[in-house]
């Protein structure tokens, strides 16, 4: 999708701070980090949100979580994975993505 921000990042049309890539996923640092480690993990093939995530994509995303958590040094300390979906989920970019956040103790409650 040529008008999708994350598709354009995956294609290299918009610069990003890449932390990991394989044939199915691309991961880069969030431009507005909410934690010392804040990485966005996206499938290369466009999907609007987690409701469109098939089993193959889910496996690729969770494999990437494992690799990136180790790479970022938060594997043992712990981290959080979030996927915002739709209006009430406060999804601002309509390309499925996981937020991987860590590097500090995160707040335990949503509100
Ligand atoms: P969400 O609000 O869950 O859809 O998450 C979208 C995330 O994308 C936000 O945390 C933004 O800070 C992040 N973001 C927006 N534009 C960029 C960009 N060009 N590079 C990296 N992260 C971005």
The two structure tokens encoding residue 76: 């043992």
18-45 pLDDT, tens digit each: 999 999 999 999 999 999 999 999 999 9
Tell me, yes or no, whether 109 lies in a domain: no
Q: Is residue 108 part of a domain?
A: no
Tokens linked to 81 = 């994975």
In a domain, 33, yes or no: yes
CA dihedral sign, ordered 1, 49, 75, 106? positive
* pLDDT classification of 110: cutoffs 50, 70, 90: confident
Question: For ligand 1, what atom is nearest to the CA of residue 83?
Answer: 3
Answer yes or no: is 43 within a domain.
Answer: yes
90 lines ligand 1 (CB under 6 A): yes
Q: How many residues does the chain have?
A: 111
Residue 1 has pLDDT above 80, yes or no: no
List the domain range (segments joined by +) for residue 90.
Answer: 5-102
Q: What confidence tens digit (pLDDT) does each residue in 55-72 have?
A: 999 999 999 999 999 999
Kindly report whether the global pTM for this prediction surpasses the value 0.95: yes
CB atoms within 10 A of CB 109: 4
- Candidate list 38, 46, 95, 97, residue with the active-site label: 97
Residue 99 catalytic?
no
List phi, psi (to 5°) of 63. -60, -40
In a domain, 86, yes or no: yes
The verdict on residue 48 lying in a domain is yes
Q: Distance between terminal CA atoms of the chain?
A: 35
Q: What is the CATH number of the domain that holds 43?
A: 3.30.428.10
Domain count within the chain: 1
- Does residue 30 have its Cβ closer than 6 Å to ligand 1? yes
Q: Give the model confidence (pLDDT) of 68-86 as tens digits.
A: 999 999 999 999 999 999 9
Ligand 1 pocket, residue 2 CB under 6 Å: no
């Amino acid at each position: 999708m040529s008008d999708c921000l994350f598709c354009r990042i995956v294609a290299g049309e918009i610069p990003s701070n890449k932390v990991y890539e394989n044939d199915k996923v691309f991961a880069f640092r969030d431009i507005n980090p909410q934690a010392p480690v804040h990485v966005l993990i996206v499938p290369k093939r466009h999907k609007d949100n987690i409701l469109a995530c098939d089993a193959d994509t889910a496996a690729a995303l969770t494999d990437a979580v494992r690799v990136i958590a180790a790479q970022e040094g938060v594997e043992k300390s712990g981290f959080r994975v979030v996927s915002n979906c739709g209006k009430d989920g406060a999804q601002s970019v309509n390309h499925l993505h996981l937020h991987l956040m860590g590097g500090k103790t995160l707040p335990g409650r949503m509100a």
